[in-house]
A and B are shown apart, each in its own frame.
Chain A
Amino acid sequence: GAVVSQHPSWVICKSGTSVKIECRSLDFQATTMFWYRQFPKQSLMLMATSNEGSKATYEQGVEKDKFLINHASLTLSTLTVTSAHPEDSSFYICSAGDPDTQYFGPGTRLTVL
């Protein structure tokens, strides 16, 4: 099946700094990618839809100025958590695929101290 990678797999940062997470589709092109956030023992919550060559579409309650998404190519989307705070600590997962199957990246564990 198709492969989606994420980098880094985990990151620890200080409060107030910005962190960039990459999501790549390795063997297919993705005009659309999705970013999710998952808190411990909870479900995935969709944060935004990343659209290649255009602005991302954010879900209600997600601050677009805090979670910057860039989808500059058909194989790469980035999520930047700006001015991170401890409450942003979470597991961030991206996905890409076709209407029938979404392929998920392995996730990025963000810890903000």
Chain B
Amino acid sequence: SQQGEEDPQALSIQEGENATMNCSYKTSINNLQWYRQNSGRGLVHLILIRSNEREKHSGRLRVTLDTSKKSSSLLITASRAADTASYFCATERPGANSKLTFGKGITLSVRP
């Protein structure tokens, strides 16, 4: 079953704008991770946030985690056309030993 549910399912923005993607989950977690997938390719790990963290930054990426609401958000600032991809959140549950449960994904289109 799907653990993560991202919204929106699709997002189209202009280059230079910020993109915000949300993910909700249902069970307790060890950590939540965001991945990016270009069409027909493998996944690239973007960022991990642990259950005891509330916010992390990596370059143009900002991730927040609210364990009380069981939700996370991924913010991409100053988007570029090259950011066009599908983005997935994935959760690792306690005792899962690196096993991840993925959300349905968000398709981001950045218009040049």
Q: Which residues in A have some Cβ–Cβ distance to B below 8 Å?
A: 1, 4, 6, 32, 34, 36, 42-46, 49, 91, 93, 95, 97-107, 109
Contacts and interface: CB of A to CB of B under 8 A. Distances in A.
Interface residues on B, range: 20 to 34
A43 B103 contact: yes
Nearest to B41: A106
Nearest to B30: A99
Interface string B79-105: 000000000100010000111111111
A45 B2 CA distance: 9
Contacts of A99: 92, 97-98
Interface-central residue, B42, B97, B102, B105, by most chain A CB under 10 Å: B42
Contact of A107 (B2, B41, B48, B101): B41
Chain A interface mostly helix, strand, loop or mixed? Answer: strand
Interface string B18-53: 000000000000010101000011111100100000
Contact of A46 (B43, B48, B101, B105): B101
A52 B2 CA distance: 27
Which of B2, B101, B102, B103 has the most chain A CB atoms inside 10 A of its CB? B102
In the A-B complex, the 4 residue pairs with the smallest Cβ-Cβ separation, listed nearest first, are: A104-B43, A104-B42, A106-B42, A44-B102
Given A43-B88, A99-B98, 20 more contacts: A1-B45, A34-B99, A36-B102, A42-B104, A43-B2, A43-B102, A43-B103, A43-B104, A43-B105, A44-B88, A45-B102, A95-B43, A99-B92, A99-B97, A100-B31, A101-B33, A102-B33, A102-B45, A104-B44, A107-B40
